A and B are shown apart, each in its own frame.
Chain A
């Protein structure tokens, strides 16, 4: 049996009186997209923070492809093939959307030539296509600071994708995106991920999207995984209807 893509073992972290991770053990299998759902403050973002080394758990382990990455800084985990899109987009606001992607490529490939213009790197067209894919081609040459929140979220995802990860963690990828666009963009995104053999984990509040695009669902509650199963099993579960879906409605 091959090791799971990502595995956490008994993660615990406490912020003051809040237990944001309470003995979280979860495996993520390559090729199976996992949706994380759960009420506000359940610890979903904290889980992504721990998996990527941003926050160190007080106990427990994170393994990526069987290797213990718990002590590593985010940049080292990223280099192993984990990319992240954030709940609040993390972009270079004075740079254009395209430049954000070009910089991601420059970082990925450690481009050092001091006399080559960033705009002249061979991947420029590829990055333009990536922006088109997330429907942000019109934003390519505008500084990120001028973009609406929804577009920034999509550019943030494109930046993560530009790293060519094997695992992509997305925190509410389409929040802030107009609901008329949401489904279409998720459709394109999931297809592109499959094509590139990228496994995704996404935190999502929209149950329609979860149902359509996740192969598995994990329900977070009070810092732990309360339930895990296929979208059908989870969305029909009475506890989920009461605690999560009920709240969203």
Chain B
């Protein structure tokens, strides 16, 4: 596929299987660098952890962009998963971290099937807005049914056990950080592989020609549903990680601004790029945190201006710029 934001193996003369600079070496180097954060810059550990959790959700939004569909309601899956984790911790105090994440994943996938079966009938603006509508319904459910959901205060999420051990706060945060990093690597890799696989490529043809897809004997709606579930699952794991990292889940998780933020970060990082989702999320959180430390609302202006520049001059996003530079570097060798 000639997608702009993933390095293209098919057309280049590069021997198959050899690692590419932009595709493999740089992402691994980036992850290795991040792995040093708890040692070298412990003050940034929480920030990076939250950014990567959000990055997983953004990767979910990016998957849909590959099929030409924008969802303005994916915070729904982020929130469903976070609350599923919180409900589990309430019901089974001391439950294991793995169980919390599984509950989140399951919640997101079940919600994805229910909403997905409905929204895959629509495309473009209708698809985007229907997703938004479902997320708003869920948000008001969280706000209004406070005896179940804790209302606007949300639910506190006590620290889960890790493989049966009760860790102190610092150790738990460290475990969570490296777990998140591992999930980013594993799920990022799996998503990229899936996108390159026959089923993933069929999913991406929705962007250009559903008539031909139908005439290949494939149901476009079913193809979209599979991709939708992949995207919901990624958002869900991101949301569940966010919940345990913050120790509290609130209706704000489902708030529509969160959904918009995911689309924003996806475009910033490189629309449709899995790697870009994480780069975008890191930049976004860094700018937001450090700029707002200096002056009140200046971060929105900075990020808005940055996005403007990206759209006008680098439509493949930050990851596109990085890849262009890397290719240039390789060509010079």
Contact indicator per residue, chain A 69-100, by CB within 8 Å of chain B (1) or not (0): 00001111011000110100011111110110
Q: A79-B217, A91-B209, A114-B194 are in contact. Are A99 and B201 (CB under 8 A)?
A: yes
**With a CB–CB cut-off of 8 A, which chain B residues contact A117?**
9, 193, 196-197
A90 & B209 in contact (Cβ 8 Å cutoff): yes
B202 & A103 in contact (Cβ 8 Å cutoff): yes
Please report the C-alpha to C-alpha distance between residue A84 and residue B215 in the assembled complex, in whole angstroms: 7
Q: A93-B208, A113-B197, A117-B196 are in contact. Are A107 and B11 (CB under 8 A)?
A: no
Q: How many residues of B contact A (CB 8 A)?
A: 30
Please report the C-alpha to C-alpha distance between residue A57 and residue B53 in the assembled complex, in whole angstroms: 52
Min C-beta distance of B213 to chain A, whole Å:
8
**With a CB–CB cut-off of 8 A, which chain A residues contact B140?**
none
**With a CB–CB cut-off of 8 A, which chain A residues contact B199?**
106, 111-112, 114
Please report the C-alpha to C-alpha distance between residue A112 and residue B194 in the assembled complex, in whole angstroms: 10
Q: A52-B215, A83-B215, A90-B211 are in contact. Are A121 and B198 (CB under 8 A)?
A: yes
Residue in A78, A95, A104 whose beta carbon sits within 8 Å of that of B1 in the complex: A95
**With a CB–CB cut-off of 8 A, which chain B residues contact A102?**
198, 201
A94 & B2 in contact (Cβ 8 Å cutoff): yes
A184 within 8 A of B: no
A118 within 8 A of B: yes
Which residue of chain B has its CB nearest to the CB of A113? B197
> How many A-B contacts are there with CB distance less than 8 Å?
109
Which residue of chain B has its CB nearest to the CB of A144? B208
A163 within 8 A of B: yes
A157 within 8 A of B: no
Min C-beta distance of B147 to chain A, whole Å:
42
B197 & A103 in contact (Cβ 8 Å cutoff): no
Please report the C-alpha to C-alpha distance between residue A108 and residue B213 in the assembled complex, in whole angstroms: 11
B205 within 8 A of A: yes
A115 within 8 A of B: yes
Min C-beta distance of B206 to chain A, whole Å:
10
Q: A114-B200, A117-B197 are in contact. Are A103 and B205 (CB under 8 A)?
A: yes
B144 within 8 A of A: no
A159 & B197 in contact (Cβ 8 Å cutoff): no
B121 within 8 A of A: no
B216 within 8 A of A: yes
Min C-beta distance of B78 to chain A, whole Å:
23
**With a CB–CB cut-off of 8 A, which chain B residues contact A121?**
198
B10 & A141 in contact (Cβ 8 Å cutoff): yes
B190 & A114 in contact (Cβ 8 Å cutoff): yes
Please report the C-alpha to C-alpha distance between residue A228 and residue B212 in the assembled complex, in whole angstroms: 31
Please report the C-alpha to C-alpha distance between residue A84 and residue B217 in the assembled complex, in whole angstroms: 11
A116 within 8 A of B: yes
Q: Which of B163-211 contact A (CB under 8 A)?
A: 190, 193-194, 196-202, 204-205, 207-209, 211
Please report the C-alpha to C-alpha distance between residue A232 and residue B2 in the assembled complex, in whole angstroms: 48
Please report the C-alpha to C-alpha distance between residue A204 and residue B193 in the assembled complex, in whole angstroms: 43
A143 within 8 A of B: yes
B309 within 8 A of A: no
A9 within 8 A of B: no
Which residue of chain B has its CB nearest to the CB of A83? B215
Residue in B1, B9, B214 whose beta carbon sits within 8 Å of that of A94 in the complex: B1
Most B CB within 10 A of own CB, among A99, A117, A119: A117
Q: What are the 6 closest A-B residue pairs judged by CB atoms, nearest first?
A: A106-B198, A107-B216, A111-B198, A90-B212, A78-B217, A143-B2
Residues of B within 8 A of A (CB): 1-3, 9-11, 190, 193-194, 196-202, 204-205, 207-209, 211-219
Given contacts A95-B1, A106-B202, A115-B197, 17 further A-B contacts (CB under 8 A): A73-B214, A78-B215, A79-B217, A92-B205, A94-B3, A95-B205, A103-B202, A104-B216, A106-B201, A107-B217, A113-B198, A114-B194, A117-B9, A117-B197, A118-B197, A141-B11, A163-B216
Residues of A within 8 A of B (CB): 52, 73-76, 78-79, 83-84, 86, 90-96, 98-99, 102-104, 106-108, 111-119, 121, 141, 143, 159-160, 163
